[in-house]
Structure 1
Amino acid sequence: MQPLCRDHPQPQSFDRVLSSMCTRPHPDAVAAATEFLTTNPGDPMTYQSIAKIESKAVNLLADIVGEPTATGYITSGGTESNIQAVHAARNRSATKTPNIVAPESLHFSFNKAATVLNVELRTVPTDEDHRADLTAVENAVDEDTVLVVGVAGSTAYGRVDPIPELTDIAHRVDAVMHVDAAWGGFVLPFTDHAWSFAAGIDSLTIDPHKFGQATIPAGGLLVRDPSLLDELAIETPYLESPTQATLTGTRSGAGVAGALAAMEALWPHGYKETYERTMYLAERLETELSTRGFETVTPHLPLVAADIPRELFTALRSEGWRIATTADGTLRIVCMPHVTQSLCESFLSDLDRLRRAGNSA
């Protein structure tokens, strides 16, 4: 690939990326995204081919999450999906002082949603296992609560909240129950976690451009009842289609086509193999870090958290490792599909060398 000009940087390599929740897209996704790059799903009557592809993509997402009758649309990612979930729940309610209740492990997109939509955001503590504290949620909801959020694959620790219990709390106050499975949605079908529509939830975020291995941008918003999606409908008088439920208007068909191509190539066997391989890597990496004396958090999904000295973290970054920390400073490593055993071994080798050089307390 030639750069746009002599001084233009080359694309980021994934060779040392251990912090991202995105990954190399599947080759079929790249090809499909390129083919439909200039189509606009926001004008479905004009661009009918990409509209049909989006319908197929939503149907396949519904199969993946175990609710074949679910409906929705392909978003730009988890942020748009979560904002739209809050948007729909707010519009559904008659209260003039709406609030949403979410655990402190929530994604920052809910802070954006609360600000943009003028909705009070009530965050509650998590328990010792970094999952939503049910008592705290119960105490936070009231008659003005329009949405309760559960996280299925938290960005910090890869935890899955007690979704059935949160759903019960939400429905007791007539609130919508939303699950943010942006990262976890493509691995959770191969686990025993109760996380999706079978748990009684109303709406769900799931991102094909993360573990789904689609091209960016490609998120997904799914709802059980189409009437919830109808709460988002806006009239579009100059288009052939009368209304639009999306947050954006014009959208590139690249994300839509790439999402369908990746899912058709990988569901279910490819995703199952990826989950098993990355989960094995996460468990092995956690064991290796624990053996070296670092305090770790047992992985429930392919994400490793370990408490390492800041000096060592900084030294690893200076060696080119793309790593990150949680809000409390804990190292987090996400075992995405591009992460291999040799990559993990190389990381541990550099970690050991830098420790010997005195980059640790």
Structure 2
Amino acid sequence: MQRPEPEPQSFDRVLSSMCTEPHSDARAAAERFLAANPGDPATYETVAALEERAVERLATLAEHPIPSDAAGYVTSGGTEANVQAVRSARNRHDGGRDDRGVNVVAPESAHFSFTKAAELLDVELRTVPVDDDYRADTDAVAAAVDDATALVVGVAGTTEYGRVDPIPELAAIAAEAGARFHVDAAWGGFVLPFTDHDWSFADAAVDTLTIDPHKFGQAPVPAGGLLAREDAALDALAVNTPYLESRSQATLTGTRSGAGVAGAVAAMDALWPDGYREAADRAADHADWLAAELADRGYDVVDPELPLVAAAVPESEFAALRDAGWKISRTGTGELRVVCMPHVTRSTLRAFLDDLDRIRG
């Protein structure tokens, strides 16, 4: 018996994901470059040139002082970029590559990829508390750093509450400790340019930065991004590759997705800046509207800063919404978490609230 071809899952009821439907230009570009491998740029020259364009466009979003000179590459996602930022900082710390007695200081709101990085790279991860508004507590960060701190991490768009840490203050703490400073803007990076937040290379002494086109950038998966202020950050990652046409490689993976690179460039060409500004404004409006509607129903709601809504919804109601087909998730302390990505419309949110009202009776 022949099985039917599986169809991709619809985004219609997906409210928990930080990925979204790719732009049509990005989808077409990805298909054209399915077989290209930017892991060997000397062999695959066309996609290598596209990756240079991708890095320059990402650097423009992140306000690198000279976008055409920015270092970086298109990663598989934010996890790889964060692991590489830790690896680079460890390798550049005072003892160099042979020094493994180093630590990384990050707020407890940091993405779980930093836990993976610490385990993989044999560094100590020191997580510090957040303040009452879910942002990194600068006093706690300052108390945690020492001479062995290789990296301080700030988050610009936390995955649970959409908060932006005090990036300039954290950068100053890192500089005082002689550490590198990394900003994880994997999700927030395509929204923050249209806000008044301080988060970018222009706002602080940022050494490395994660920013993912396959999130709010509307590129196909996989298309993450790692940016660095200077070449030395990537030089610290390079290993010899004697059998390739390219004689060294700074990336974490060898073979990489040409589709992701081409799709990221196509999405940014199509949407920067006006398309992204419009998407960010719509998402912010949706988040504010949903937060107000939930508050009107008596739920405790965390005031949205970026387009992410968290609210204290009882477990029985949360489970019933899941049973109704809604793809929703919870924060670490149990709140309902809704991410207003570009595919999330006002009609979708109304349908979600209709189901919630029915469940509440």
In the alignment, residue 42 of structure 1 is paired with which amino acid?
A: G
Task: Find the partner of 2:107 among 79, 103, 106.
Answer: 103
| Cα deviation 1:114-135 (Å, max 9, x = unaligned) | 0000000000000000000011
Secondary structure at the residue paired with 1:31? helix
Further displaced range: 87-96 or 49-58: 87-96
In the alignment, residue 347 of structure 2 is paired with which amino acid?
A: S
Distance 2:271 2:3 in 1: 37
Confirm or deny that 1:29 pairs with 2:26.
Answer: yes
The within-5 A match list for 1:183-198 is: 183-198=187-202
Distance 2:292 2:84 in 1: 39
In the alignment, residue 78 of structure 1 is paired with which amino acid?
A: G
Distance 1:353 1:317 in 2: 14
Task: Find the partner of 1:137 among 126, 134, 141.
Answer: 141
Identical-pair percentage: 64
In the alignment, residue 217 of structure 1 is paired with which amino acid?
A: P
Secondary structure at the residue paired with 2:171? helix
Task: Find the partner of 2:50 among 49, 53, 78.
Answer: 53
Task: Find the partner of 1:168 among 159, 172, 177.
Answer: 172
Confirm or deny that 1:123 pairs with 2:127.
Answer: yes
Task: Find the partner of 2:246 among 238, 241, 247.
Answer: 241
Indicate the residue corresponding to 1:70 in structure 2.
70
Confirm or deny that 1:149 pairs with 2:153.
Answer: yes
In the alignment, residue 180 of structure 2 is paired with which amino acid?
A: V
Indicate if the aligned counterparts of 2:100 and 2:123 stay in contact, CA closer than 8 A: no
Distance 1:345 1:178 in 2: 38
Indicate the residue corresponding to 2:351 in structure 1.
346
In the alignment, residue 329 of structure 2 is paired with which amino acid?
A: A
Structure 1: gaps (5+ residues): 357-361
Secondary structure at the residue paired with 1:197? coil
Distance 1:136 1:179 in 2: 18
Distance 2:106 2:264 in 1: 28
In the alignment, residue 28 of structure 2 is paired with which amino acid?
A: A
How far did 1:70 drift? 2.1
Distance 2:280 2:247 in 1: 41
Secondary structure at the residue paired with 2:225? strand
How far did 1:47 drift? 0.6
Distance 2:219 2:316 in 1: 36
Indicate the residue corresponding to 1:44 in structure 2.
41
Indicate the residue corresponding to 2:14 in structure 1.
17
Secondary structure at the residue paired with 2:74? strand
Distance 1:139 1:354 in 2: 47
Secondary structure at the residue paired with 1:219? coil
Distance 1:296 1:304 in 2: 7
Indicate the residue corresponding to 2:270 in structure 1.
265
Distance 1:9 1:55 in 2: 35
Structure 2: gaps (5+ residues): none
How far did 1:8 drift? 4.9
How far did 1:160 drift? 0.2
- CA-atom RMSD in angstroms: 0.8
Indicate if the aligned counterparts of 2:39 and 2:254 stay in contact, CA closer than 8 A: yes
Indicate if the aligned counterparts of 2:103 and 2:125 stay in contact, CA closer than 8 A: yes
Task: Find the partner of 1:6 among 3, 7, 29.
Answer: 3
In the alignment, residue 302 of structure 2 is paired with which amino acid?
A: V
In the alignment, residue 51 of structure 1 is paired with which amino acid?
A: A
Task: Find the partner of 1:218 among 205, 217, 223.
Answer: 223
Distance 2:6 2:266 in 1: 29
Indicate the residue corresponding to 1:87 in structure 2.
87
Distance 1:47 1:63 in 2: 25
Distance 1:87 1:8 in 2: 42
Indicate the residue corresponding to 1:113 in structure 2.
117
Secondary structure at the residue paired with 1:75? coil
How far did 1:303 drift? 0.3
| Cα deviation 1:70-103 (Å, max 9, x = unaligned) | 2200000000000000000000011441100000
Indicate the residue corresponding to 1:359 in structure 2.
none
How far did 1:10 drift? 2.1
Indicate if the aligned counterparts of 2:100 and 2:122 stay in contact, CA closer than 8 A: no
How far did 1:9 drift? 3.5
Indicate the residue corresponding to 1:313 in structure 2.
318
Indicate if the aligned counterparts of 2:90 and 2:100 stay in contact, CA closer than 8 A: no
Count of aligned residue pairs for this structure pair: 352
Distance 2:164 2:61 in 1: 17
Secondary structure at the residue paired with 1:280? helix
TM-score normalised by structure 1 residue count: 0.96
Distance 1:120 1:7 in 2: 49
Secondary structure at the residue paired with 1:72? strand
